[in-house]
Amino acid sequence: MNPPIVRSGLQLSDKVSHTKLYGRVTKFQPYLMKDVLKESSQNLFTVVSTFAGGGGSSCGYKLSGGDCLFVNEFQKVAMQDYLANWPGTPNICGDIRNVTGKQIMELTGLKVGELDILDGSPPCPPFSMSGTKQAGWGKEKTAYGVKQKNIEDLTWEQIRITNELKPKVVVCENVKGLTMTYAKEHLQRMVNDFEKCGYTTVFRVMKGQYYGVPQKRERVFIVSVRNDVMDDIGLPFMCLDSTVYPEPDTDVHTIHDAINDLQKTNQNMSEAYDLRMAMEKSAKYKWMKRLPKNPDKVVSVGDDVVTPWFDKWIEHRKKRGKVLPERKNSFYQSRRVPWNQPSHTLSEQGLQTSLGVHLHPEEDRVYTTLEAARIMTLPEDYKLTGKLNENLARIGLMVAPLCMHYLSNNIYNNINIPTLCSSLTKVSIHFFCFA
C-alpha cells in the first residue's frame, strides 16, 4: 500500500513580482552563472534530478527559478562538474538501482507527494539514431565510461523512484529514436507504467532550434502529471499536451549568432590551435579539409564535392581487405555547417573524427569547449573539470539548458501554480530575451 500523498501547494503569490515579463526571443545573448544563481534564488519550485549528468537540465530548471534539492549521477567526472558549479548540492554518486525514494526524502526533507518535479534522462544508446539499436539490446555497453549490461532498463528505475516519491510532475528527456520503430514499444510501456503509478503521460519531440538553442537538436520530452494534480486544476487528458509544451519560436539562432564573437578571444584561439593540431593527426583529416569553407549548404564527406576522394578511400579499403562502411556511416557523417544555420546535434564523440563529427564552419577542427558550451546554451563560465576531449563529450551528452528552461517555465505556469492561470496567461521566457 502506497503512503498517503501530502499535497503541498506552492505558495508563491509573494514571489510572482520577481518574475519579469519579456517578449519572444529575438537575439542570442550569452549569460553567466551569476545570472543562473539569481534566478534560482527565487525557489519557485523544487526539483530532484536523476541521471543528472554535468547539470544541463538542472541549469534549465534554475533559469526558471527552480531549486534543485538533490541529484544522482553515475559518472564520477560528471558529478564533479555538477558540484563544481553548484557545490553543496545533496547527492548520491552511484548506480540509481541502489538509490531509494526514502534516501532522497531523508536528504531533502521532503515527504511523499511534496516534490514538484522529478527530472531524469536515462542513457540512450539502444535508441540513438547513430547507434546499433536493437542489435545491441541487453548486451554489455560502455556507458559513462563504464561497461554495463541492460542500461536500457534504467528507465524503470526512474518509474520506481516516481512511485516512491509521488512528485507532481515527472520530466524525462531522451533521444528522438525512442519514438521510432521497435523503440515505440518501450515508450508505450513507459506510458503504461506511469499510468499504473497514478500519472497521465504525454510526449513530444522538441527541436532545440525553435527554443533558443543554436543547434538542430531533436529530443523527446516525456512529461507525466499526477492525476490528482490534473483534477485539482480541472485539466482533461486531451488538453495536457497543449498545456505542458511551450509553443515553438520562429526566431532561429545560427552558429554565427552563437560563436562569431569568440573567434578572436585568447582562450578560444589557444584551444582552437590545439584542436587543429589534433585533427591533423587523424587519418581522415585529408578528406575533411577538402570540405569548402562556410559552404552554401551543409556538406559531408561523401557529398558530390568530395566524392572522388571518398571513392579513392573506398578502393584503398578494399585492397586492404577492410570491411567497408555504408555511405551513411560514421565516416560519411563528418560534415561542415554554414555560418547562417544552426549547428547539427552535438554528440558525445568529442575529438573523434568519425561518428557525428561536425566541423567548424571555416576551420578544419571541431568546436572548442567554449563554442560547444555556447551552442548547447550553457553559461559562459560553466566549469568543466575533465580533459578537453572529456569536456567536449560531456557537453554533447547534456540536456540543452534553454530547451529545458522553456519547458519547465511552461510547466511551472500551467501545472504547478494553477492560481496564476487566471491572472497570467503565461510568464514568458526570461533569458536570452529582451523586452
Domain boundary assignment for the chain: 16-253+399-420, 255-397
Q: What is the per-residue pLDDT for 226?
A: 95
Long-range Cβ contacts of 322-328 (<8 Å, 24+ apart): 327/302
Quick: pLDDT tens for 323-371.
554 444 444 567 889 999 999 888 876 655 444 577 899 998 889 999 9
CATH architecture for residues 255-397: Alpha-Beta Complex (3.90)
Q: Name the residue type at position 288.
A: M
- With CA atoms as reference, report the closest residue to 110 among 241, 7, 1: 7
Query: Which of 24-28, 151-155, 270-274, 430-434 shows the lowest mean pLDDT across its residues?
Result: 430-434
> 132 versus 397: which is more confidently predicted?
397
Determine the pLDDT at residue 161.
97
**pLDDT band at residue 180, thresholds of 50, 70 and 90?**
confident
| Domain 16-253+399-420: homologous superfamily in CATH | Vaccinia Virus protein VP39 (3.40.50.150)
pLDDT value at 387 more than 70: yes
Which residue reads 563528418 in cell numbers? 334
Output the pLDDT for position 285: 79
Residue with cell 525512442: 178
d(CA 206, CA 399) in angstroms, rounded, equals 12
Contacts of 57 by beta carbon, 8 Å cutoff, 6+ apart: 49, 119, 121, 171, 173, 398, 399, 401, 404
Cα 363 to Cα 285: distance, rounded to the nearest angstrom: 12
Does residue 154 carry a pLDDT above 90? no
pLDDT digits (tens, 9 = 90+) for 208-244: 999 999 999 999 999 999 999 999 888 898 899 999 9
- Domain 16-253+399-420 matches domain 255-397 at the CATH topology level: no
Confidence bin at 31 (pLDDT 50/70/90): very high
pLDDT (tens digit per residue) in 305-322: 555 556 666 676 677 665
Model pLDDT, residue 14: 29
Average pLDDT, the chain: 79
* Nearest partner of 259 among 367, 365, 388, judged by Cα: 367
114 backbone φψ class: left, alpha, beta (φ>0; ψ -120 to 50) = alpha
- pLDDT bracket for residue 302 (50, 70, 90): low
Residue 136 has pLDDT above 90, yes or no: no
Q: What is the reported pLDDT for 431?
A: 37
The overall pTM is greater than 0.75 = yes
Number of Cβ within 10 Å of residue 387's Cβ equals: 12
Tell me if 78 sits within 8 A of 108, measured CB to CB.
no
Would you say residue 181 has pLDDT above 90?
no
Cβ-in-10-Å burial (0-12, 13-18, 19+) of 421 comes to middle
Residue type, 250: T
